[in-house]
Protein backbone atom coordinates (compact mmCIF):
# COMPACT_ATOMS: atom_id res chain seq x y z
CA UNK A 1 0.00 0.00 0.00
CA UNK A 2 1.34 3.39 -1.04
CA UNK A 3 0.19 6.85 -0.12
CA UNK A 4 1.06 10.34 -1.26
CA UNK A 5 0.11 13.62 0.34
CA UNK A 6 -1.71 15.73 -2.23
CA UNK A 7 -2.50 18.63 0.10
CA UNK A 8 -0.51 19.30 3.23
CA UNK A 9 -1.73 21.43 6.09
CA UNK A 10 -0.26 24.66 4.71
CA UNK A 11 -1.68 24.20 1.22
CA UNK A 12 -5.00 23.07 2.66
CA UNK A 13 -5.29 26.31 4.62
CA UNK A 14 -4.51 28.35 1.49
CA UNK A 15 -7.09 26.36 -0.45
CA UNK A 16 -9.74 26.97 2.20
CA UNK A 17 -8.94 30.69 2.18
CA UNK A 18 -9.23 30.82 -1.60
CA UNK A 19 -12.57 29.00 -1.52
CA UNK A 20 -13.84 31.43 1.14
CA UNK A 21 -12.98 34.45 -1.04
CA UNK A 22 -14.53 32.82 -4.10
CA UNK A 23 -17.75 32.14 -2.23
CA UNK A 24 -17.92 35.68 -0.87
CA UNK A 25 -17.21 37.06 -4.35
CA UNK A 26 -20.43 35.45 -5.56
CA UNK A 27 -22.59 35.74 -2.47
CA UNK A 28 -21.41 39.09 -1.08
CA UNK A 29 -22.80 39.33 2.45
CA UNK A 30 -24.73 36.05 2.71
CA UNK A 31 -28.07 37.94 2.79
CA UNK A 32 -29.80 35.16 0.87
CA UNK A 33 -27.22 32.38 0.96
CA UNK A 34 -26.63 29.50 3.30
CA UNK A 35 -24.09 26.73 3.68
CA UNK A 36 -25.15 23.10 3.95
CA UNK A 37 -22.57 20.45 4.83
CA UNK A 38 -23.18 16.87 3.72
CA UNK A 39 -22.90 14.33 6.57
CA UNK A 40 -20.67 12.89 7.75
CA UNK A 41 -17.38 14.01 6.20
CA UNK A 42 -18.59 17.04 4.27
CA UNK A 43 -19.58 18.55 7.61
CA UNK A 44 -15.99 18.44 8.86
CA UNK A 45 -14.96 20.46 5.80
CA UNK A 46 -17.99 22.77 6.05
CA UNK A 47 -17.25 23.39 9.76
CA UNK A 48 -13.80 24.59 8.75
CA UNK A 49 -15.09 26.66 5.86
CA UNK A 50 -17.71 28.40 8.01
CA UNK A 51 -15.20 29.03 10.78
CA UNK A 52 -12.78 30.63 8.31
CA UNK A 53 -15.51 32.71 6.64
CA UNK A 54 -16.60 33.98 10.03
CA UNK A 55 -12.98 34.84 10.85
CA UNK A 56 -12.37 36.65 7.53
CA UNK A 57 -15.74 38.40 7.49
CA UNK A 58 -16.85 38.85 11.11
CA UNK A 59 -19.78 41.08 10.17
CA UNK A 60 -21.63 38.44 8.17
CA UNK A 61 -24.09 36.02 9.67
CA UNK A 62 -23.77 32.77 7.78
CA UNK A 63 -26.72 30.36 8.05
CA UNK A 64 -25.23 26.88 8.36
CA UNK A 65 -26.94 23.50 8.31
CA UNK A 66 -26.00 19.83 8.22
CA UNK A 67 -27.68 17.39 5.88
CA UNK A 68 -27.69 13.62 6.14
CA UNK A 69 -28.44 11.77 2.91
CA UNK A 70 -28.75 8.19 4.18
CA UNK A 71 -32.51 8.01 3.58
CA UNK A 72 -32.07 9.27 0.00
CA UNK A 73 -29.27 6.96 -1.15
CA UNK A 74 -29.77 5.12 -4.43
CA UNK A 75 -27.94 1.99 -3.21
CA UNK A 76 -30.15 1.21 -0.19
CA UNK A 77 -30.95 -2.56 -0.31
CA UNK A 78 -28.31 -2.90 -3.05
CA UNK A 79 -25.09 -2.32 -1.15
CA UNK A 80 -23.38 -5.10 0.78
CA UNK A 81 -23.48 -3.14 4.02
CA UNK A 82 -26.02 -1.42 6.19
CA UNK A 83 -26.21 2.34 6.46
CA UNK A 84 -26.55 4.29 9.66
CA UNK A 85 -27.86 7.81 9.46
CA UNK A 86 -26.15 10.87 10.95
CA UNK A 87 -27.82 13.99 12.30
CA UNK A 88 -29.65 16.37 9.99
CA UNK A 89 -29.74 19.84 11.46
CA UNK A 90 -31.29 22.50 9.25
CA UNK A 91 -33.23 25.00 11.32
CA UNK A 92 -34.21 27.35 8.50
CA UNK A 93 -36.25 26.98 5.30
CA UNK A 94 -34.36 26.64 2.03
CA UNK A 95 -37.22 28.22 0.08
CA UNK A 96 -35.72 30.71 -2.43
CA UNK A 97 -32.29 30.48 -0.78
CA UNK A 98 -28.96 30.29 -2.60
CA UNK A 99 -27.69 27.03 -1.21
CA UNK A 100 -23.96 26.32 -1.07
CA UNK A 101 -23.62 22.57 -0.69
CA UNK A 102 -20.32 21.38 0.81
CA UNK A 103 -18.68 17.96 0.58
CA UNK A 104 -15.08 16.87 0.93
CA UNK A 105 -14.52 14.60 -2.08
CA UNK A 106 -16.53 14.60 -5.32
CA UNK A 107 -16.17 11.15 -6.84
CA UNK A 108 -19.10 9.33 -8.53
CA UNK A 109 -21.45 12.24 -7.83
CA UNK A 110 -24.10 9.93 -6.37
CA UNK A 111 -23.85 11.42 -2.88
CA UNK A 112 -24.52 14.88 -4.30
CA UNK A 113 -27.42 13.56 -6.38
CA UNK A 114 -28.95 12.15 -3.17
CA UNK A 115 -28.19 15.39 -1.37
CA UNK A 116 -30.10 17.35 -4.03
CA UNK A 117 -33.13 15.11 -3.41
CA UNK A 118 -32.80 15.60 0.32
CA UNK A 119 -32.43 19.38 0.01
CA UNK A 120 -35.76 19.73 -1.79
CA UNK A 121 -37.55 18.43 1.33
CA UNK A 122 -36.55 21.64 3.08
CA UNK A 123 -38.05 23.96 0.46
CA UNK A 124 -37.31 24.92 -3.14
CA UNK A 125 -33.96 26.70 -3.27
CA UNK A 126 -33.31 29.51 -5.73
CA UNK A 127 -30.15 27.73 -6.79
CA UNK A 128 -27.69 25.19 -5.47
CA UNK A 129 -23.93 25.40 -5.86
CA UNK A 130 -21.38 22.80 -4.90
CA UNK A 131 -18.10 23.29 -3.06
CA UNK A 132 -15.69 20.37 -2.84
CA UNK A 133 -12.20 20.09 -1.48
CA UNK A 134 -11.13 17.38 -3.93
CA UNK A 135 -12.63 16.66 -7.34
CA UNK A 136 -11.81 13.21 -8.71
CA UNK A 137 -12.94 14.29 -12.13
CA UNK A 138 -12.56 11.04 -14.07
CA UNK A 139 -15.02 8.82 -12.18
CA UNK A 140 -18.39 10.53 -12.42
CA UNK A 141 -21.50 8.29 -12.66
CA UNK A 142 -23.97 11.17 -12.91
CA UNK A 143 -23.65 14.59 -14.57
CA UNK A 144 -22.69 16.66 -11.52
CA UNK A 145 -20.13 19.45 -11.48
CA UNK A 146 -18.76 21.50 -8.60
CA UNK A 147 -18.62 25.28 -8.88
CA UNK A 148 -15.82 25.76 -6.35
CA UNK A 149 -13.03 23.17 -6.31
CA UNK A 150 -10.11 22.97 -3.90
CA UNK A 151 -8.02 20.67 -6.03
CA UNK A 152 -8.78 18.56 -9.08
CA UNK A 153 -7.02 15.23 -9.29
CA UNK A 154 -6.85 12.41 -11.81
CA UNK A 155 -7.12 9.08 -10.07
CA UNK A 156 -8.26 5.57 -10.85
CA UNK A 157 -11.07 3.62 -9.17
CA UNK A 158 -8.82 1.41 -7.05
CA UNK A 159 -7.23 4.46 -5.46
CA UNK A 160 -8.70 6.21 -2.44
CA UNK A 161 -8.65 9.82 -1.41
CA UNK A 162 -8.61 10.36 2.33
CA UNK A 163 -9.07 13.72 4.01
CA UNK A 164 -7.70 14.12 7.54
CA UNK A 165 -8.72 16.96 9.85
CA UNK A 166 -7.05 18.17 12.99
CA UNK A 167 -10.35 17.75 14.83
CA UNK A 168 -10.48 14.00 14.19
CA UNK A 169 -6.85 13.18 13.39
CA UNK A 170 -3.58 14.77 14.32
CA UNK A 171 -3.14 17.04 11.34
CA UNK A 172 -4.84 18.53 8.31
CA UNK A 173 -3.91 16.75 5.10
CA UNK A 174 -5.28 14.99 2.04
CA UNK A 175 -3.78 11.70 0.92
CA UNK A 176 -4.07 9.58 -2.18
CA UNK A 177 -3.87 5.90 -1.22
CA UNK A 178 -3.32 2.99 -3.60
CA UNK A 179 -2.97 -0.76 -3.19
CA UNK A 180 0.25 -0.99 -5.15
CA UNK A 181 3.96 -1.43 -4.51
CA UNK A 182 4.96 1.25 -6.97
CA UNK A 183 5.46 4.70 -5.49
CA UNK A 184 2.70 7.10 -6.49
- Chain residues binding other proteins by CB under 8 A are 68, 70-73, 76-78, 80-89, 93, 117, 120-123
62-97 in b/e burial notation, b at 16+ Cβ within 10 A?
bbbbbbbbeebbeeeeeeeeeeeebebebeeebeeb
Cβ closest to other proteins, residue 21 vs residue 71: 71
Cβ closest to other proteins, residue 37 vs residue 150: 37
Cβ closest to other proteins, residue 122 vs residue 148: 122
Query: Taking the complex as a whole, how short is the minimal distance between the CB of residue 25 and other proteins, in angstroms?
Result: 32
Name the pairing type of β-strands 127-136 and 98-106: parallel
Query: Taking the complex as a whole, how short is the minimal distance between the CB of residue 164 and other proteins, in angstroms?
Result: 23
Cβ closest to other proteins, residue 82 vs residue 156: 82
Q: Enumerate residues 6+ apart whose C-beta is below 8 A from 42.
A: 102, 103, 104
Whether 165 contacts 44, CB under 8 Å: yes
Query: Taking the complex as a whole, how short is the minimal distance between the CB of residue 117 and other proteins, in angstroms?
Result: 7
Query: Taking the complex as a whole, how short is the minimal distance between the CB of residue 142 and other proteins, in angstroms?
Result: 16
- Of the candidates 24, 56, 36, 2, the residue with the CA atom closest to the CA atom of residue 120: 36
Amino acid sequence: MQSRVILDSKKLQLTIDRLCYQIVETHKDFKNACIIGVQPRGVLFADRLVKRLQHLFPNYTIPYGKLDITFYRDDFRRADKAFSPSVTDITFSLENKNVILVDDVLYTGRTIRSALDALMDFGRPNDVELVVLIDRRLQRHVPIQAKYVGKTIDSINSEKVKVYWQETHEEDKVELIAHTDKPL
